[in-house]
């Protein structure tokens, strides 16, 4: 598949996966929210039915008390209420504290109260001065029961009143309910059967609590219902006893759901990006492998062709002089050496890639190993006219190394310098820097392009500028793997004054245990 087709696939695949993840997360969230809403609605419905039943119960008790009192009034002799009601009050109307009968002008014609004489006088004055003006007596329909709930001073009052007719004359009966008694006696018995299941309170129009405990932490599970006709300034509120915990669990669950959906989306997106990256990396690696095979084939074919050509010339005695014969033999040896080096590189690289490389560590002088590598390499390039200069600095250069591996790594650095140095000289420096022994190989060519500095040690990588240069693309990668196996490091940089420096450093005192962990076996 071409690069452009892969890119088109990526541009379509990633948005499609992202869109699918968003849609999946959205519907997961919606479904979970619907189930949550159903659960909350079920709890709210059951609680609302309970609240309605309790409100109706309080309302009915107050109305029953009103009717019981009003039935005792004799229109012919309304003053008899002062004698007939008090003995029955505790049984038929326990919340009623006072009963008044008014004529059509609002004047009191009968008055009975369950109180001390002073309390009776005080309430009658309060009623005449404040409560009576608030009663809508003129607009009251005959036989209709109405209620007034209002605070006078610091006390909340509940007054029931009804207009009646007798012999063509209109009169009114009024009952004063003790709201304190209702809170003390009526409210506590509302939820006796719900003990341990429900929490409740009563609040006024401003939300101030007049009875019960705070339900502020009940959240969405709090259900309220106003008393419709009697205590209409108050509202009964009920919540499940576990409402605070349920509300907290819901908030936590919402956070967890959002977090899990976001995390899942992130994992899917990261996984998709990784798959795209891995596919692109694999595609690039396959391309590099293809280039590597082509380069190696070319590199093998060229010296083989030269060896074969000059070998045939010598075999057929087509050599004009002994000098030419000697020259041809030297060419054959040089190309054979080049061929051997290439094959050795490929075999060592393959062994390292398979994890079957074996390194035999011995104490060696690194300077001597580098000098030997230069002598071996000089034979290959002596006809190219490239001068290789060695400089040794520092003190002790003896460390445990695999001599053949370091020899191969150094030759690869020299080969790299000659290939890309443009025929300039090569300077090799071995030095003791701190706790490391450093081998630096510098050419005096055009240097390494800035964009390639971080990639020169990658497998099969070849700079676009030097795509026509001979080589397989594994030399520096092999160097890095050998040096890393020795516990060292490799790097490349452009040198001051032109050219490039490719180097490696080995620890002067390697950790034996760490070395065992890092060094993999080398094939022989």
Name the DSSP letter for residue 184. I
What percent of the chain stands above pLDDT 70?
Answer: 73
**Do the two domains 71-183 and 352-518 of this chain adopt the same fold?**
no
- Tell how strand 209-212 and strand 223-226 pair up: unpaired
| Residue 290 bridge partners (DSSP) | none
**What would the pLDDT profile of 370-410 be if each residue is shown by its tens digit?**
998 888 787 667 667 788 889 988 766 789 998 888 988 89
Residue 178's pLDDT is 94
Question: Does residue 473 contact residue 452 with C-beta atoms inside 8 Å?
Answer: no
Task: Report the distance separating Cα 394 and Cα 398, nearest Å.
Answer: 11
Task: Report the distance separating Cα 351 and Cα 404, nearest Å.
Answer: 14
Mean pLDDT confidence for 287-304: 62
- Most confident residue range from 153-157, 421-425, 446-450, 495-499: 153-157
Task: Report the distance separating Cα 314 and Cα 328, nearest Å.
Answer: 8
Residue 238 predicted with pLDDT over 70: yes
CA distances from 282 to 89, 198, 289, 398 (A): 96, 65, 10, 41
Q: Which residues have CB under 8 Å from 41's CB, separation 6+?
A: none
Mean pLDDT confidence for 194-208: 80
The model's confidence at residue 519, banded by pLDDT at 50, 70 and 90, is very low
Secondary structure (DSSP) of 100-161: EEE-TTS-EEEEEESS-HHHHHHHHHHIIIIIHHHS--TTPPBT-EEEEEEEETTEEEEEEE
φ, ψ dihedrals at 489, nearest 5°: -145, 155
**What would the pLDDT profile of 141-189 be if each residue is shown by its tens digit?**
898 999 999 999 889 999 999 999 988 889 999 999 999 999 988 888 8
Report the predicted TM-score, pTM, of the whole model to 2 decimal places: 0.47
Residue 13 predicted with pLDDT over 70: no
Residue 415's pLDDT is 85
Residue 40 predicted with pLDDT over 70: no
Q: Write down the residue that tokens 């209409």 correspond to.
A: 232
Interhelix angle 403-420/322-353, nearest 10 degrees = 120
Please state, as a whole number, how many other Cβ atoms lie within 10 Å of the Cβ of residue 222.
20
Residue 302's pLDDT is 62
- For the chain, the average pLDDT equals 79
Residue 524 predicted with pLDDT over 60: no
Query: Phi/psi zone of residue 207: left (φ > 0), alpha (ψ -120 to 50 degrees), beta?
Result: left
Quick check: helix, strand or coil at residue 2? coil
**What would the pLDDT profile of 75-100 be if each residue is shown by its tens digit?**
889 999 999 999 999 999 999 999 99
- Which of 213, 175, 228 is CA-nearest to residue 67? 175
φ, ψ dihedrals at 174, nearest 5°: -130, 135
CATH number of the domain located at residue range(s) 71-183 in this protein: 3.30.450.20
Residue 520's pLDDT is 40
Burial class (CB in 10 A: 0-12, 13-18, 19+), 76: exposed
**What would the pLDDT profile of 94-116 be if each residue is shown by its tens digit?**
999 999 999 988 899 999 999 99
Check if CATH label 3.40.50.2000 holds for domain 352-518.
no
- Tell how strand 169-177 and strand 96-102 pair up: antiparallel
Residue 463's pLDDT is 66
Residue 30's pLDDT is 67
Residue 2's pLDDT is 52
- Tell how strand 426-433 and strand 398-401 pair up: unpaired
The model's confidence at residue 200, banded by pLDDT at 50, 70 and 90, is confident
Residue by residue, what is the 3-state secondary structure of 246-293?
A: HHHHHHHHHHHHHHHHHHHHHHHHHHHHHHHHHHHHHHHHHHHHHHHH
φ, ψ dihedrals at 386, nearest 5°: -95, 125
Higher pLDDT, 108 or 522: 108
Report the range of poorest mean pLDDT among 306-320, 396-410, 429-443. Answer: 306-320
Residue 417 predicted with pLDDT over 80: yes
Task: Return the domain boundaries, the chain.
Answer: 71-183, 352-518
Query: Phi/psi zone of residue 106: left (φ > 0), alpha (ψ -120 to 50 degrees), beta?
Result: left
The model's confidence at residue 513, banded by pLDDT at 50, 70 and 90, is very low
């Amino acid at each position: 598949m071409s690069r452009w087709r892969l890119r088109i696939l990526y541009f379509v695949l990633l948005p499609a996966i992202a869109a699918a993840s968003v849609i999946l997360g959205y519907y997961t969230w919606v479904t979970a929210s619907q189930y949550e809403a159903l659960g909350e609605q079920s709890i709210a419905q059951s609680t609302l039915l309970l609240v309605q039943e309790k409100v109706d119960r309080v309302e009915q008790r107050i109305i029953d008390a009103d009717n019981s009192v009003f039935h005792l009034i004799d229109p012919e002799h309304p003053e008899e209420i002062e004698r007939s009601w008090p003995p029955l009050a505790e049984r038929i109307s326990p919340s009623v504290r006072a009963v008044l009968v008014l004529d059509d002008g609002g004047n009191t014609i009968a008055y009975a109260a369950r109180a001390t004489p002073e309390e009776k006088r005080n309430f009658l004055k309060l009623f005449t001065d404040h409560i009576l003006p608030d009663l809508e007596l003129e607009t009251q329909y005959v036989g209709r029961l109405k209620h007034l709930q209002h605070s006078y001073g610091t006390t909340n009052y509940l007054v029931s009143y009804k207009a009646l007719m007798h012999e063509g004359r209109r009169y009114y009966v009024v009952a004063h309910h003790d709201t304190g008694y209702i809170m003390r006696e009526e409210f506590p018995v509302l939820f006796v059967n719900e003990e341990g299941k429900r929490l409740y309170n009563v609040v006024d129009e401003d939300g101030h609590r007049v009875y019960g405990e705070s339900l502020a932490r009940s959240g969405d599970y709090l259900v309220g219902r106003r008393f419709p006709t009697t205590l209409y300034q108050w509202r009964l509120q009920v919540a499940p006893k576990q409402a605070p915990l349920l509300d907290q669990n819901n908030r936590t669950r919402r956070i967890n759901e959002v977090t899990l959906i976001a995390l899942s989306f992130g994992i899917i997106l990261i996984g998709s990006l990784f798959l795209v990256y891995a596919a692109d990396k694999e595609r690039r690696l396959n391309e590099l492998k293809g280039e590597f095979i082509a380069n190696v084939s070319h590199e093998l074919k060229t010296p083989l062709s030269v060896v074969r050509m000059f070998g045939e010339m010598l075999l057929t005695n087509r050599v004009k002089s002994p000098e030419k014969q000697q020259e041809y033999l030297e060419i054959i040896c040089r190309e054979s050496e080049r061929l051997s080096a290439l094959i050795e590189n490929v075999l060592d690289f393959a062994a390292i890639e398979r994890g079957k490389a074996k390194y035999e560590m011995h104490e060696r002088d690194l300077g001597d190993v580098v000098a030997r590598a230069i002598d071996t390499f000089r034979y290959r390039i002596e006809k190219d006219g490239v001068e290789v200069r060695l400089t040794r600095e520092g003190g002790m250069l003896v460390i445990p190394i695999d001599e053949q591996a370091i020899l191969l790594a150094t030759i690869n650095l020299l080969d790299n310098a000659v290939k890309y140095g443009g025929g300039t000289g090569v300077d090799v420096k071995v030095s003791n820097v701190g706790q490391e022994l450093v081998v630096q190989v510098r050419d005096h060519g055009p240097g390494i392009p800035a964009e390639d500095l971080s990639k020169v040690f990658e497998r099969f990588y070849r700079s676009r500028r030097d795509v026509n240069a001979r080589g397989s693309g594994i030399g520096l990668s092999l160097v890095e793997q050998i040096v890393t196996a020795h516990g060292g490091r490799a790097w490349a940089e452009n040198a001051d004054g032109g050219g490039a420096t490719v180097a490696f450093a080995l620890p002067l005192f390697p950790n034996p245990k760490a070395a065992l962990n890092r060094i993999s076996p080398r094939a022989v």
